[in-house]
Amino acid sequence: MTDTAHPAVYQRIAANLLQQLDSGHYAPGSRLPSVRALAAEHDVNVLTALAAYRHLEQQQRVVARPRAGYFAALQPHPAPGSGQASPLPAAAALVDLKSRMSTLLQLGDERIRWQLHMAEASPTLYPSAELARRLQSTLTRQPGLIGAHLPGDIQRRLCHGLQRIASERGLSLPADGILPCHGITEGISLALRYLTRPGDTVAVETPVYFGLLQTLQGLGLKALEIPCTPDSGLSLEALEFALRHGPAVKCLVCVPHFQNPTGALMPDEHKKRLLQLASQYGLTLIEDDVFGDLYYGSERPTPMKAWDRHDQVIYCASFTKSYAPSLRLGWVAAGRHHAALAQLQASSTLTVSPLLQAVLADVLDSGDYQRTSARIRQQLASQMHATADAVMRHFPKGTRIRKPQGGMLLWVECPPQSDTTALLQAALADGISFAPGMAFSAEPRFGHCLRINCGQPFTPALEAAITTLGQRLATQLLQAR
């Protein structure tokens, strides 16, 4: 073996790399030089360079990723003499799909003053006092709800309310074809569990909501990432190419309205064309409309399901973003698959809390949902404009954004040399978090992008945090020159 043939040489290269890892020259999780580049740098053959990497891999200081190369290890070792590992979460752990969601949740650490990493509006935007009164009055009128095991009548009443909401969106659905569920997350999981078997391939947008990648991974499914741009969403050309030439695809999960993370809104013409493609290739579409009610314009975008003549769309919606995150209530309209999904739900979570279903039914009957979601979306629109303008004022030249027309997420494309995973690590020390681009693909893509949550009221203090981010990025770019 070469590494025994040139022990001194590969060990010297490994020691040199180790020094660069310890000094922070390579941030945890960042990409390391290719084997070829390392060989050229030290004027050795590629096998010797490879031996140096293998040596560091054994020490768990670097990780090899198939077809992507070598990366600095995710868990940084404590600096010699420092005693303990960094008390703040390591941004690099976001690169690992298995720990991505839990690492992002850890960024909810109270020492991080500006938490801009999740897709959530500030708690002050939600109707806390109003909902507390509603809960109280629902229970006062129906104390038996506490002892209710299965929802029966309650669910029927809720589904009639949901049917009305659906018809305002242009969907004509039978009330008994609607299934309340635990957030949209459960609706999408049920659909995926029903439509696929482990090992199957599911098409998704890229960049994509990391929660979906984690769901797919949990079900043993492969994600086929189809490009999605802030301008018009999913690339239908790329999808058609993949359907024609790629592996068999069981279904597509897409977010046509204010996609996470790009904020893209799919034009109606694309929705109709996507339905045609689905017919042509026998593809089931799982439509995730979690942000649809948070439109900034005068009209709500119409779900793809409204043009679904051949029952190809499983439509999933939720109240977690547009009304009350903590209710964790969503719903799914699965057409001919309804009974199968209901059965799967019965065998896993049984049903959604009858108490919460009753409260939501009251909320829908009273018109509170329409009033509250209208107020939330107006506030989000003004926060989005102010935050996006601040990013353009304070981020380095070459930064690009496209202001979304709804939702709460701003996708920022920083200059190409940017490393937003390293930027996050630096920003955490300043008490600021955001979601780095690397979190939005299973492949090492979007390393120069980041997603900012615009759910917080815009204040001078928030502008100062954005200024700090911009300055940190400018410094990083200067150092990379």
Ligand X SMILES: Cc1ncc(COP(=O)(O)O)c(C=O)c1O
Which tokens is 7 given? 């022990």
C-beta of 393: minimal distance to ligand X in Å? 27
Considering the rule CB under 6 A, would residue 214 count as an interface residue with ligand X? no
C-beta of 119: minimal distance to ligand X in Å? 4
List binders of ligand X among 142-171 (CB under 6 A).
Answer: none
Nearer to ligand X, 215 or 425 (CB): 215
DSSP 24: T
Nearer to ligand X, 190 or 290 (CB): 290
Give the rounded distance of the alpha carbon of 254 from its chain centre.
12
Angle at 164 between CA 204 and CA 190, to 5 degrees: 35
Considering the rule CB under 6 A, would residue 215 count as an interface residue with ligand X? no
Nearer to ligand X, 62 or 290 (CB): 290
C-beta of 126: minimal distance to ligand X in Å? 13
Considering the rule CB under 6 A, would residue 318 count as an interface residue with ligand X? yes
C-beta of 257: minimal distance to ligand X in Å? 10
C-beta of 451: minimal distance to ligand X in Å? 10
Nearer to ligand X, 119 or 450 (CB): 119
Element (H, E) at 226: strand 222-229
Distance CA 137, CA 139 (A): 5
Distance CA 208, CA 259 (A): 8
C-beta of 211: minimal distance to ligand X in Å? 6
C-beta contacts of 57-63 below 8 A and 24+ residues apart? 61/18, 61/21, 62/17, 62/21, 62/32
Position of tokens 């790329």? 238
List binders of ligand X among 183-212 (CB under 6 A).
Answer: 183-185, 209, 211
Q: Which residue is nearest to ligand X (CB)?
A: 183
Strands (E), 11-102: 62-65, 69-72
| Contact region with ligand X (CB under 6 A), list: 177-185, 192-200, 215-223, 367-375 | 177-185
| Contact region with ligand X (CB under 6 A), list: 17-25, 84-92, 180-188, 236-244 | 180-188
Position of tokens 């941004």? 91
Binding mask 262-301 for ligand X (x = CB under 6 A): --------------------------x-x-----------
C-beta of 477: minimal distance to ligand X in Å? 29
C-beta of 122: minimal distance to ligand X in Å? 15
Considering the rule CB under 6 A, would residue 396 count as an interface residue with ligand X? no
Distance CA 428, CA 217 (A): 28
Element (H, E) at 21: helix 7-22
Considering the rule CB under 6 A, would residue 228 count as an interface residue with ligand X? no
In single-letter form, the type of residue at position 222 comes to K
Nearer to ligand X, 90 or 290 (CB): 290
| Contact region with ligand X (CB under 6 A), list: 182-190, 216-224, 237-245, 418-426 | 182-190
Task: List the 284-288 sheet strands across, edge first.
Answer: 178-182, 329-333, 313-318, 284-288, 249-254, 201-206, 222-229, 233-234
Nearer to ligand X, 35 or 317 (CB): 317
Nearer to ligand X, 11 or 106 (CB): 106
List binders of ligand X among 84-123 (CB under 6 A).
Answer: 119
Considering the rule CB under 6 A, would residue 369 count as an interface residue with ligand X? no
Q: Which residues contact 215 (CB under 8 A, 6 or more apart)?
A: 185, 188, 189, 192
Distance CA 288, CA 239 (A): 17
Distance CA 247, CA 227 (A): 16
Angle at 449 between CA 445 and CA 454, to 5 degrees: 135
Angle at 469 between CA 465 and CA 470, to 5 degrees: 115
Nearer to ligand X, 318 or 418 (CB): 318
Contact positions toward ligand X, by CB under 6 A?
Answer: 119, 183-185, 209, 211, 255, 260, 288, 290, 318, 320, 330
